[in-house]
Every structure is written in structure tokens, then in C-alpha cells.
């Protein structure tokens, strides 16, 4: 039986950089998840009888929302749901399933790298038929709908058993519980030279991968240990846990500290990597070197042709605006296009669909390509391994040679988390007001060349996205960027991105924070960070 339930809007269901993210108790309010899911369906047209993909990163409340989404999809007229066994689908795997099975779209349940548990974070994101996050015009429509919604439709049926791969009938809709890993592993095998990587590993090359008790565990076990032959134990924390073992499943130098220390110690393994809650981010640490995500994008782009899936070369490279300019230098040398987009993977979709870009990346540990329409953590790890297997050099040597060829973009991001929202908004507003007065001003040896609030003109659909981050460009190419996070769930998070280019290879081994010292001081002076936030230091430095 299909039931129509009366409801009232909550008013706060605005999708951020990657969908709706709130604390679990917010999602547990009566009709809260249902309101958002119905608002998604109400904003779409033409899905009658079509396929919807559903899966999540296994965090607390994942299964409950999956059951609701299945019953609501049936009541709203979808013809088929594909759901990952155990409710599991990594974000890139969901993107692949949507594309491979020509689904209308997908609902991905995740709050990515944010912690999970009864009082931690949850999220719902809608992906469109190309496998990528819904573009702004769709998320705007969803938000508008959440403000006026007055009812939702749901099938009154028993829960579907998510733990058995089988098919069920829910009203007129078929629900098929699928293997979450198989299609993804096959896709990876089609892109990379698994034989070469297997040989590298068989020759004693040691890989460690930290799944951070999140969704990539089953994927990494299958691919790195079973298919590539890495010894058992190479994949750590491989069981997805609803609370990620109490940790932040955020693969950065703070939350993956143990891996970093392992890789810097004597007798370190050859290659270390980690991924986040939903499997779309990556952390790359070679023996003795942390590769910044911005550098990783540039190095992967420069070497991608060594992997079979990219042997024909790249059409172009896209990076988010705050990501360092290291990839720009590679694009220039390759004679291909470089696209600079706002933060968030949804902006890459059009460029990938149109064949303008092949590889994309964000400074926030996101790298990916046209194989799916999401960033893809394991993909980045496998491309690195493929390159290492072909070049037969260490990650450190590859990085040093890269810098010697292209110069080095010293880069760091300073995050101020859980800042008072008014203070954070005030800081950005004050910066906006002073933009016009900055060019020509000098701060010590640093002279401002240009300052603006980044606005993006999508070359494909011609949409314009304004106010995407304050950029202060100094003479010589150094840069400071400020923006507020769109994924946090408490207070505001101020992100400050700092970059300096160094051509001289005699100066490529400096400590990053020291190399950026003068810019860091000027970043504070211009935005009055300490004064306005009341913080002495960032909460996280990456
Ligand atoms: C952050 C990152 C951004 C990334 C987004 C989603 O957004 O900066 O680059 O695309 O998270 O990543 P924000 O608005 O907090 O800066 V994930 O791994 O949550 O899907
Ligand atoms: Co993520």
C-alpha cells in the first residue's frame, strides 16, 4: 500500500558543497529524511519506471535511511532500485553503477570524511544520470522544494534484507541487492596495468593502505590484496564501522598521523595511502614524502599516459580554484586545456561529459578522471602504483624530478573549524569590502597584483557561479585564498589556502610552513583572522 504522509518543512535543508549534511539527531527528527528525499524526487522529471541507485558509506543511520529511500522510490514510481549489499557503496562505486546500468540517478548516503555515530554526522546527496553530483540548478530546486513541502509518499511494506544479494518486489518496483565491489574492481582493472603492479608487489615492493574503518575496506581488500597480491594485512582498518572506530575518516596528516609516521620511519614501506569515509578522497605518502593533493594531481597528469586507460593522453586538466597551480604547468607543457572551477566535484561534470578534461583534482585530497563523475580515492592510489611500476622509481624521486622540471608550488591549507558563524561571515564580508583597495598595496616584500571574489562561467552550460572564494594574488604568482566551507555541520569553517611558486631547484627541500611563512603572516594581517575568530592558530593544517 502506498501512503501519503502530511508533513511540514524544516527550512534548514540546504544542500552544501556535497549534498545535505547534518548531525544524526537532525536526520532522526520526524519526517526529516523523508522530506529531503521527497524534495529530491519532486525536483526531478521523467523517472517513472527508471532505475535509482542507492548506497552509502556504512555510517550510523545508513541502513535506516536506505529503507526509507527504497520505500519512497517505490511509492514515487521508480521501476528499479539497485542497492549495495549491506547498504554499502563507495561514492565512486555508486557513480560507476549509475553510469554502467544507465540509472536515472542515485542517492548516496554519506558525510564523507566527517565522523559518524549517534551524535555525529550524516548526509544525503543526489547524483544525476551522468553519475555525478547534481548541478547547482538541481540542488537549488531541491532546496526550494524543502521549504514548501507538505507531504511525501511511501510504500508501507516490510524492510528489504540488504545482506543477501537477491531481488525483491516492492509495489511495482524491483529492488536488487548487488555486490558493491565487483563492478568497481572490474573498472579499475580495465584502466590500469594490474600485471605490472602485481609484478612490482611480488618483487617486494611494500604497500600499506589505511581504509580508516570506512567504506573502502572491502574495495581495497579485493583489489590490493586479492587481485594485486599484496600480503594480508597490507590493507588496514578494512571493516567499515558505523562510527569509523571513533575516528575521523579523514585522510590527512592529522587524522592519518599513524600512517604518516610509519612512512617517515626508517624501514618504511614503499608506498602508503588512505581514503576517507565514502572513498572519494586519497592520501598519498611515499617513503619519506607526503605528496600534497595539488602536487599529486600534477604528477598524475604528467604521468597518466603510462597507464593503459590514459595511454592516448589527456584532453585537458581541471582543478578547483583553491588547488595549487602545479597542474597548470603540466597542462601548459602538454599543450592541453586547464580549467579552473569552484570548489566541489559537481563543477567538473560538464567538462568531463564534453570531453574537455580527462583528469580533475581538488586540493582537499580529491583526484579523479572521466572514468566516473566523482573523485575516486582508490583510483588515485592505483594510478600512482601503475606509474611507480612503470617508472621503477620511488615516489620521492618522481616528485623531485617533477619539481626540477616544472618548479615547485609550496602549498598549504589552514582550517579554522567551528568558528562563530557571524564572525566568519563578518571576516569574509570585510575582505570583500576591501578587495578594490588591495591591488598595488605592499605587505613587506609582498605586493598585491590583483584581488577578487572568484566567479565561474561554465563553458558548457553557460551558468555563472558567483562568490566562490576571495583570491589575493601577489606579484610573482604567490596567492592567498579565503572561503567558508560548505560541508561543516557546526558553526563555520574558514579555509585559508596559501601558495608560493619556487622555480629554483636548490630551494625545493624547504619545510612547507617555513617556505610559506611570510604569506601566512600576511594572510592574517589582511583578513584579521586572529582578531575576528579569536583563534591563535588553525585547527588543522594540511
Ligand atoms: C570540502 C572540500 C571540497 C570537497 C568537499 C566534498 O568542501 O574543500 O574540495 O569537494 O569537501 O568532499 P568545503 O565546502 O567544506 O570546503 V567529500 O570527500 O565531502 O565528498
Ligand atoms: Co568524501
**pLDDT surpasses 90 at 300:** yes
Q: How far apart are CA 489 and CA 153, in angstroms?
A: 28
Model pLDDT for residues 208-246, shown as the tens digit of each residue: 999 999 999 999 999 999 999 999 999 999 999 999 999
Q: How far apart are CA 535 and CA 529, in angstroms?
A: 7
Predicted TM-score of the model (pTM): 0.95
So which residues are the catalytic ones? Answer: 112
The verdict on domain 408-541 having CATH code 3.30.2270.10 is no
**CA atoms in the 13 A half-sphere facing the CB of 80:** 13
For residue 490, the model assigns a pLDDT of 80
Concatenating the DSSP letter of every residue in 34-98 gives HHHHHHHHHT--S-TT-EEEEEE---TTHHHHHHHHHHHHHHHT-SEEEEEEEEE--HHHHHHHH
Pocket flag, ligand 1, residue 486 (CB < 6 Å) = yes
For residue 18, the model assigns a pLDDT of 81
For residue 165, the model assigns a pLDDT of 97
Q: Of 383, 349, 312, give the one whose Cα is nearest residue 339.
A: 349
For residue 303, the model assigns a pLDDT of 98
Average pLDDT over residues 346-365: 96
Which one is the CATH code of 184-406: 3.40.120.10, 3.20.20.140, 3.80.10.10, 3.30.930.10? 3.40.120.10
Provide the CATH number for the domain formed by 2-180 in this structure. 3.40.120.10
Distances (CA, A) of 495 to 154, 249, 319, 538: 40, 19, 17, 9
**pLDDT surpasses 90 at 368:** yes
For residue 388, the model assigns a pLDDT of 98
Pocket flag, ligand 1, residue 364 (CB < 6 Å) = yes
* Structure confidence at residue 523 as a pLDDT band (50, 70, 90): very high
Are the folds of 2-180 and 184-406 the same?
Answer: yes
Model pLDDT for residues 405-458, shown as the tens digit of each residue: 999 999 999 999 999 999 999 999 999 999 999 999 999 999 999 999 999 999
Protein residue whose Cα sits closest to atom 19 of ligand 1: 112
Average pLDDT over residues 502-522: 94
Give residue limits of the domains in the chain: 2-180, 184-406, 408-541
Pocket flag, ligand 1, residue 495 (CB < 6 Å) = yes
Which listed ligand is nearest to 362 at the C-alpha?
1
Q: How far apart are CA 94 and CA 54, in angstroms?
A: 8
Q: Of 403, 414, 445, give the one whose Cα is nearest residue 513.
A: 414
Helix axes 395-406, 293-303, angle to 10 degrees: 90
**pLDDT surpasses 90 at 16:** no
For residue 206, the model assigns a pLDDT of 97
At 368, is the secondary structure helix, strand, or coil? strand
**pLDDT surpasses 80 at 488:** no
Specify the ligand 1 atom closest to the Cα of 21. 19
Amino acid at each position: 500500500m502506498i501512503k501519503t504522509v502530511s508533513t511540514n518543512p524544516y527550512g534548514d535543508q540546504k544542500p552544501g558543497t556535497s549534498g545535505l549534511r547534518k548531525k544524526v539527531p537532525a536526520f532522526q527528527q520526524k519526517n526529516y529524511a523523508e522530506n529531503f528525499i521527497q524534495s529530491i524526487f519532486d525536483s526531478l522529471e521523467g523517472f517513472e519506471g527508471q532505475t535509482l541507485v542507492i548506497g552509502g558509506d556504512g555510517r550510523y543511520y545508513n541502513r535506516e535511511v536506505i529503507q526509507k529511500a527504497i520505500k519512497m522510490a517505490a511509492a514515487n514510481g521508480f521501476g528499479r532500485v539497485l542497492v549495495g549489499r549491506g547498504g554499502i557503496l563507495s561514492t565512486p562505486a555508486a557513480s560507476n553503477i549509475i553510469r554502467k546500468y544507465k540509472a536515472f540517478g542515485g542517492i548516496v548516503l554519506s558525510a564523507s570524511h566527517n565522523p559518524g555515530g549517534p551524535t555525529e554526522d550524516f548526509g544525503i546527496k543526489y547524483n544525476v544520470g551522468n553519475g555525478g553530483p547534481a548541478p547547482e540548478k538541481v540542488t537549488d530546486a531541491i532546496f526550494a522544494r524543502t521549504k514548501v513541502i507538505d507531504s511525501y509518499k511511501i510504500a508501507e511494506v516490510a524492510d528489504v534484507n540488504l545482506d543477501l544479494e537477491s531481488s525483491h518486489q516492492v509495489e511495482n518496483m524491483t529492488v536488487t541487492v548487488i555486490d558493491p565491489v565487483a563492478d568497481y574492481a572490474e573498472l579499475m582493472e580495465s584502466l590500469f596495468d594490474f600485471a605490472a603492479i602485481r609484478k612490482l608487489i611480488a618483487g617486494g615492493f611494500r604497500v600499506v593502505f589505511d581504509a580508516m574503518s570506512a567504506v573502502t575496506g572491502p574495495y581495497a581488500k579485493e583489489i590490493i590484496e586479492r587481485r594485486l597480491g599484496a600480503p594480508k594485512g597490507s590493507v588496514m582498518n578494512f571493516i567499515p564501522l558505523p562510527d569509523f572506530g571513533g575516528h575521523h575518516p579523514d585522510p590527512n596528516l592529522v587524522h592519518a598521523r599513524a600512517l604518516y609516521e610509519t612512512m617517515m620511519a626508517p624501514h618504511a614501506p614503499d608506498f602508503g595511502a588512505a581514503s576517507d569515509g565514502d572513498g572519494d578522497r586519497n592520501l598519498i605518502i611515499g617513503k619519506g614524502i607526503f605528496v600534497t593533493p595539488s602536487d599529486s594531481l600534477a604528477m598524475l597528469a604528467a604521468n597518466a599516459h603510462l597507464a593503459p586507460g590514459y595511454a592516448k593522453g589527456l584532453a585537458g586538466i581541471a582543478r578547483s580554484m583553491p588547488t595549487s597551480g602545479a597542474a597548470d604547468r603540466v597542462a601548459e607543457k602538454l599543450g592541453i586545456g586547464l580549467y579552473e572551477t569552484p570548489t566541489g566535484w559537481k563543477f567538473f561534470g560538464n567538462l568531463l561529459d564534453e570531453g574537455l578534461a580527462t583528469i580533475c583534482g581538488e586540493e582537499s585530497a580529491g583526484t579523479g578522471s572521466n572514468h566516473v563523475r566523482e573523485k575516486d580515492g582508490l583510483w588515485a592510489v592505483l594510478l600512482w602504483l601503475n606509474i611507480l611500476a612503470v617508472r621503477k622509481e620511488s615516489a620521492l624521486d618522481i616528485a623531485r624530478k617533477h619539481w626540477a622540471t616544472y618548479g615547485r608550488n609550496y602549498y598549504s591549507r589552514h582550517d579554522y573549524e567551528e568558528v562563530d558563524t557571524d564572525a566568519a561571515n563578518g571576516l569574509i564580508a570585510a575582505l570583500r569590502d576591501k578587495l578594490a583597495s588591495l591591488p598595488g598595496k605592499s605587505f613587506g616584500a609582498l605586493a598585491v597584483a590583483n584581488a577578487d571574489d572568484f566567479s565561474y562561467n561554465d563553458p558548457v552550460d553557460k551558468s555563472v557561479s558567483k562568490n566562490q572564494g576571495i583570491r589575493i594574488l601577489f606579484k610573482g604568482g604567490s596567492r592567498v585564498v579565503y572561503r567558508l566551507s560548505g560541508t561543516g555541520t557546526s558553526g563555520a569553517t574558514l579555509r585559508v589556502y596559501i601558495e608560493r611558486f619556487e622555480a629554483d631547484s636548490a630551494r625545493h627541500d624547504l619545510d612547507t610552513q617555513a617556505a610559506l611563512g611570510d604569506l601566512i603572516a600576511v594572510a592574517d594581517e589582511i583578513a584579521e583572522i586572529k582578531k575576528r575568530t579569536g583563534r591563535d592558530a588553525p585547527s588543522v593544517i594540511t
